[in-house]
Amino acid sequence: MYKACVFDLDGTLTDTLESLTYSVNETMKELGLPEITSGQCREFVGNGAKVLIEKTLRAAGDENLTRFEEAFAAYQRIFDKYCTYHVAPYPGITEMLEDMKKQGMKLGVLSNKPDRQAVHVVEEIFGANVFDHIQGQKDGIPRKPDPAALLYIADEFGVESAETLYIGDSEVDGATGNAAGMDTVLVSWGFRSRSVLEAAKPRFIVDTTDEILKIVREKGEKI
């Protein structure tokens, strides 16, 4: 049976696209540069804040990233203020988490969002007592798709990779879970197209939270 489940945050547990787009565009306004669309932001997220700003600057014509330091500093300040702007859990997420906790599963979050904001969003939206471990991007710890942080969380939980389900919404998450040797679920309601999810070769692709609970239940029945 699965003893733990670790989730990506943006596009998996919570719809954060509006907060990300708003924060990026407030940054661009401050620098006097063109804004991006929500569609562009959807494509740019997934590899951490620095990559998001790099891709945004290139889209604005700063191919050599001459204004990166200025832009990243502004984004960090602005996103710290607006990281929960219009953020909400996707349908069925809250109920699914309650079901998992009732089954005694350890629950974790691993995000490429900066750690301070990742913790803030999770605790603001879900409360401080739902997840047993929340981790965002920290200096000195490789970001996903490196599996080191995911394996660290499993170790903190005292569980093996085979006992851990990893759930995300992108090719980055697929590579992370696969590299960690975990059964990996990619959700179709997030920031990537189904063709991208299929190319990532996860163990499962799901369209609803009920499908995730079915995967957990069927794993338990096989033991």
Q: Where are the beta strands (DSSP E) in the chain?
A: 4-7, 14-15, 88-89, 106-114, 133-137, 164-168, 183-187, 204-206
What percent of the chain shows pLDDT beyond 90? 96
Specify the CATH number of the domain 4-15+87-221.
3.40.50.1000
From 110, 113, 102, select the one nearest 151 (Cα to Cα): 110
pLDDT of residue 222: 62
Instruction: State how far the Cα of 219 lies from the Cα of 171, in Å rounded to an integer.
Output: 24
Q: Where are the beta strands (DSSP E) in 10-142?
A: 14-15, 88-89, 106-114, 133-137
Mean pLDDT of the chain: 96
From 8, 10, 169, 173, the catalytic residue: 8
Domain boundaries, the chain: 4-15+87-221, 17-82
Both tokens assigned to 31: 């620098």
- Known catalytic membership, residue 115: no
Looking at CATH, the fold of the domain delimited by 17-82 is given as DNA polymerase; domain 1 (1.10.150)
Tens of pLDDT, residue by residue over 117-130, are 999 999 999 999 99
Q: Is the pLDDT of residue 3 over 80?
A: yes
Place 219 in a pLDDT band, splitting at 50, 70 and 90: confident
Tens of pLDDT, residue by residue over 34-65, are 999 999 999 999 888 999 999 999 999 999 99
Mean pLDDT, residues 93-105: 97
Q: Which amino acid type is present at position 14?
A: T
Strands 133-137 and 88-89, how do they pair?
unpaired
pLDDT of residue 40: 97
